[in-house]
């Protein structure tokens, strides 16, 4: 939460913030509203949500008034007094696709039901999954799950290099999707990266006049085998492949090869 408050000044006005159920507290949401920032978060599990209370908007959708909490230990008294006594928040009930019996309550400051319907807010929140997919692609496909750099400066360079490569790859993917009218969510990131890597030498050696036609063929390869629409099933968070029964190397290879250690 402290890191989120440090990042908040860099968020532009009228932006939409998506997060998990840790963030929808009174002071965090009040701070977002004071800065003109919108947010959609899952409601905290400990908060009792009763749709019979508040202002009814539609089935499973109402606006409620949250009262200011007592002053936290970490918050100065003047800052606590600057917050309003109450804020109006919207709470909507949706069902997760993977299990319709599991209820999910979203908390948002978008309480104008004429501009933002329940379905609209639910769809906006589900875009958060794309962020999770982007993080997974950077870790698994581009190898960012383990950084071998040892200094903060080199670690920062590695992260920015991966971000540059990821954004450049998506630039090519978007061009291919616009040209062939395909949704970018249906294009494989790993497949696109493989196609561009294989053709990298040919692209550098090609005649500049032939590049438009050459890239047209590459874009066609990128969208030729789109990803299928996955069913809403829950996958186990476990590793299927067992690790090898070998001891861990707890020293450098150079030290291991020295005769004194053998």
What are the boundaries of each domain within the chain? 2-126, 131-224
What is the rounded distance in angstroms from the CA atom of residue 170 to the CA atom of residue 162? 12
Mean pLDDT by 10 residues, the chain (262 residues): 88 90 90 91 82 82 89 91 90 67 79 75 84 85 86 93 92 92 87 90 85 88 76 65 80 78 52
What long-range pairs does 61-65 form, CB within 8 A, spacing at least 24?
61/90, 61/91, 61/92, 61/93, 61/113, 61/118, 62/90, 62/91, 63/88, 63/89, 63/90, 63/91, 63/111, 64/88, 64/89, 64/90, 64/91, 65/89
Map the chain to HEC letters: CHHHHHHHHHCCCCCEEECCCCCCCHHHHHHHHHCCCEEEEECCCCCCCCCCCCEEEECCEEEEEEECCCCCCCCCHHHHHHCCCEEEEEEEEEECCCCCCCEEEEEECCCCCCCCCHHHHHHHHHCHHHHHHHHHHHHHHCCCCCCCCCCHHHHHHHHHHHHHHHHHHHHHHHHHHHHHCCCHHHCCHHHHHHHHHHCHHHHHHCCHHHHHHHHHHHHHHHHHCCCCCCCCCCCCCCCCCCCCCCCCCCCCHHHHHCHHHC
- List Cβ neighbours of 24 (8 Å cut-off, separation of 6 or more): 39, 41, 42, 43, 44, 107
- What local confidence, expressed as pLDDT, does residue 175 receive? 93
- What local confidence, expressed as pLDDT, does residue 102 receive? 65
Question: How far apart, in Å, are the Cα atoms of 247 and each of 89, 103, 183, 244?
Answer: 54, 45, 46, 9
The verdict on pTM exceeding 0.75 is: no
């Amino acid at each position: 939460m402290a890191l989120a408050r440090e990042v908040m000044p860099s968020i532009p006005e009228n932006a939409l913030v998506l997060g998990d159920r840790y963030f929808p507290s009174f002071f965090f949401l009040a701070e977002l509203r004071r800065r003109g920032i919108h947010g959609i978060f899952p409601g905290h599990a400990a908060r009792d949500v009763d749709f019979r209370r508040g202002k009814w908007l539609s089935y499973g959708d109402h606006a409620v008034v949250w009262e200011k909490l007592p002053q936290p230990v970490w918050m100065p008294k003047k800052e606590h007094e600057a917050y309003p006594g109450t804020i109006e928040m919207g709470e909507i009930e949706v069902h997760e696709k993977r299990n319709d019996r599991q209820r999910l309550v979203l908390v948002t400051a978008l309480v104008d039901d004429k501009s933002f319907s329940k379905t609209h807010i639910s769809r906006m929140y589900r875009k958060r999954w794309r962020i999770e997919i982007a993080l997974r692609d950077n870790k698994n496909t581009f190898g960012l799950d383990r950084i071998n750099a040892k200094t903060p400066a080199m670690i920062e360079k590695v992260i920015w290099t991966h971000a540059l490569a990821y954004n450049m790859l998506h630039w090519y993917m978007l061009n291919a999707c616009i040209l062939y009218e395909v949704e970018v969510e249906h294009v494989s990131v790993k497949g696109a990266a493989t196609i561009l890597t294989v053709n990298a030498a040919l692209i550098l050696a090609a005649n500049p006049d032939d590049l438009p036609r050459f890239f047209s063929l590459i874009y066609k390869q990128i969208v030729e085998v789109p990803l299928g629409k996955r069913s809403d099933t829950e996958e186990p968070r476990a590793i299927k492949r067992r690790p090898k029964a070998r001891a861990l190397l707890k020293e450098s290879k150079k030290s291991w090869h020295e005769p004194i250690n053998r």
